[in-house]
Structures are given as structure tokens and as C-alpha cells.
Amino acid sequence: MKIVAISASQIPSSVANSIQAMKAVHALAQLGHDVTLLAPSHPARSTDWEQLAQLYGLKTRFSMEYIAAPSRRLFFLTAVRRARAFKPDMLYVWPVQSAVLGLFHGFPVLMEVHDLPAGRIGPFWYRYFRDMRGRKRIGVITRALQAMLDEQFGTFLKPSDVVLAPNGVELERFSDLPDPPTARRSLGLPDAPTVACTGHLYAGRGVDLFLKLARRMDDVRFLWAGGKAEEVEKWREEAKDLPNVHFAGFVPNQQLSLYQAAADVLLMPYSRAIGISSGGGNSARISSPMKMFEYLATGRAILTSDLPVFREVLNEGNAVFCPPDDTASWQGALRGLLDNPSRRAALAAQARKDAENYTWTARASRLLDGFIETKKL
């Protein structure tokens, strides 16, 4: 099937929405579809496949074009106009504006939804999408988000055209990981009990709690991989008196699994309010962090904030839960895991098993299944 995907994310970039878009499109290509991704042009754009593959952890090639537009608003229109030239069987989009314009031009449209429509104009576009005729489907990342959309906009689609699509993981990247001591040696890290967190350092990601635990547990190594350079420097300065803390900085997605494998326990220390890459917003009620699925696939014990939305994927069999921002509870739970190898092993085994339910390709198959009549590849 010929698919044109439209994302408003900056590519290349290390932010989550960029990584998620590339992973989702990559999965479509892995299923054998003829995929072209359209994204906004910008000064740091790159079509160097090897660079993109390294940054995003990709294997299967797909086509990509950068769309120059006078403004962000015009990008949505320009991208759909360009998509028409490919005569695609469907559009696979993230921006609701492109979804509306795609329906206007008569294309079947599958739209990924990761948040409630924002601002003054966002709800207007979503209502327009709701009311337009045409073949349309949405993929929502959590049940919590689906419930909030239904409450605000009504259940306007058939049940088969609202697909629960949590983020995913490529299991092959985690199939031959070394044990924690071997991974630590490979990375030049001390061979000591290690807990790790990966991802950005935005507000609400739990860096403060991470450092509070490090101050209380000086016999444990605390590793954080990820973050923008200026944020990493800020937190390195904050932790300069903590010899057991290491901020590794940005790590390409292709190499991230080794850092995750270096941990005896993987942390998700989110606060009750979670910032997003734009600097605003709060995703704590609807979030589906990509690292949650990577953690499962790594096969390590997971210690996580007890946010209701995380329980859509995690449970007492594959993770340990703590109240957000309760340092004493986190310290007790972490010490309990580090002192109990058999408990860690049981959690790790169940996590790895559960990861098999969340591959990117299985996700893509669910989103496409029964949407339009597929052509033989």
C-alpha cells in the first residue's frame, strides 16, 4: 500500500515527538508498505539515511521529503498538496489540520492523537475533523486520552475506527543485551549497584527526586542518559558534590539500550505534573512514555511513579509503584529491590515477556487493520 505520512515534528531531533513519528513510520515500512514521510523544512534538516538510522535506531529505509512553507500554518496545507502528487492509498498524519485537509481532498485519513487539541484553534480543527465526511480513523495512545476526547467531543467514530495504540519498542534491539556488570564495563562505568533513568530532563521527569535518592544512597550509582546539552550541564552542576551520580548526556536511540542494560533497576520517577518538549502542558493523565516500553524490553526491574495512566501497561507483576515525589517511599522501595535479587529477576522476566505485546510493527498492524482495502505488495 502507498502511504504518505505527515508530521509537524522537526527531523532530525532528539525530542520525543520526533522519535515517535520516525518509529511509527519505520514500522509501516517494516510491514512492507511504500511510505513517504513529509516533514517541515528547517536549517538542520538531513536526508542522510545513515545519520537518521543511527539517531533513531532504524533499519528499513523509507522515503522522506522536507516541505518548505512560509509559515507553520501553511505547512499543513502545503504538505497535503504535495501528498496528492504521490496518489497515495491513504494519509497517515499527526497534525489535525492535515487530517482535515486530507479528508477535504478525498483521502482516507488515519490520525495519531497524543494529546487533547490545544489552544483556541485546536478544538475547532478537531470538531471540523469530527464532522467531515470521509474515511477516517484515529489512534490514541492511552485509554485515558480516549475517555477525555469522548467527553469533550463525543463518540463520533465507529468503535473499529478508534484504535488504542500505545507507543512501542523494537524487540530486536534488546534481544542480546549483556548483563548489568558487562554493560557497565562496556560503557566504562563503575561496577557497583546501579539505577538508571533515560530520557529528557524536562520539568516533572523526576530529576529532583533522582538526586535526593542519590544523596541518601551513596553506595548506589545513579545514571541518567539523555537530555539537551544545556539541561545536562545544569544538572551536572547541581550534582557536582555527588560522586555517585553520572549524567551521560544525549545518547543516540540506537545505543540507548546498552545504558538501560547497565542498570539493576530502571526508574520512572515522574511527578504528578509532567512537562512536554514545548515547555508547557501537562501529560501526566494521558502519557505513554516510549522509555516505558524500552524498559520492559530491557528485562530489568522497573520502579515507577504510581500514575493511573501507567497502569494501563505496568502492573505489580512487572513493576514496583511508589507515590510521586515521596522520597522516603522511593528510597525504601529501591533499597528493597537492590537487596532482593530474586525479586528483581522475577520482575525483569515478566517485563521482558510483556514487552512482546508492544512492538512498533504490531502497533502499526492494529492501526491499519480493516481501515481500507489493502493492495498486494
Domain ranges of the chain: 2-168+359-368, 171-355
Domains 2-168+359-368 and 171-355 are alike in CATH topology: yes
Mean pLDDT of the chain: 94
Give the pLDDT score at 276. Answer: 60
pLDDT tens per residue across span 329-367: 999 999 999 999 999 999 999 999 999 999 999 999 999
pLDDT band per the 50, 70, 90 thresholds, residue 26: very high
pLDDT band per the 50, 70, 90 thresholds, residue 70: confident
Give the pLDDT score at 204. Answer: 87
CB atoms within 10 A of CB 136: 22
In the predicted structure, residue 375 carries a pLDDT above the cut 90:
no
In the predicted structure, residue 377 carries a pLDDT above the cut 50:
no
d(CA 301, CA 195): 10
CB distance 313 to 166 below 8 Å? yes
CB distance 52 to 25 below 8 Å? no
Q: What is the pTM assigned to this prediction? A: 0.94
pLDDT tens per residue across span 308-331: 999 999 999 999 999 998 999 999
The mean per-residue pLDDT over the stretch 12-19 comes to 93
Q: What is the dihedral of CA 226, 64, 57, 30, to 10 degrees?
A: 140
Give the pLDDT score at 281. Answer: 53
pLDDT band per the 50, 70, 90 thresholds, residue 33: very high
CA distances from 231 to 131, 191, 238, 279 (A): 43, 27, 11, 13
The mean per-residue pLDDT over the stretch 198-210 comes to 92
Which range among 24-33, 43-52, 187-196 shows the weakest confidence by mean pLDDT? Answer: 43-52
d(CA 367, CA 245): 41
In the predicted structure, residue 234 carries a pLDDT above the cut 80:
yes
pLDDT tens per residue across span 147-161: 999 999 999 999 999
Q: What residue type is assigned to position 222 of the chain?
A: F
Give the pLDDT score at 365. Answer: 97
d(CA 249, CA 348): 26
- CATH number assigned to the domain covering 171-355: 3.40.50.2000
β-strand partners of 2:
34
The mean per-residue pLDDT over the stretch 35-63 comes to 94
In the structure grid, which three cell numbers stand for residue 215, read together?
544523596
Residue 259: phi and psi, rounded to 5, are: -65, -40
d(CA 237, CA 197): 18
Sign of CA dihedral 146, 147, 150, 155: positive
d(CA 22, CA 18): 6
DSSP structural state of residue 248: E
CB distance 138 to 285 below 8 Å? no
Q: Where are the beta strands (DSSP E) in 252-344?
A: 265-268, 301-305, 320-322
First to last CA, the chain: 7
Percentage of residues in the chain with pLDDT exceeding 70? Answer: 97
pLDDT tens per residue across span 271-311: 987 766 544 455 788 989 999 999 999 999 999 999 999 99
> How far from chain centre, in Å, is Cα 182?
27
Residues 6+ apart with CB under 8 A from 161: 136, 137, 138, 371
CATH 3.20.20.10 fits 2-168+359-368, yes or no: no
β-strand partners of 347:
none
d(CA 109, CA 121): 20
Residues 6+ apart with CB under 8 A from 248: 223, 224, 225, 226, 259
For the chain, helix, strand, coil in percent to 5 are 45, 15, 40
Give the pLDDT score at 243. Answer: 97
d(CA 351, CA 343): 12
Residue 113: phi and psi, rounded to 5, are: -120, 120
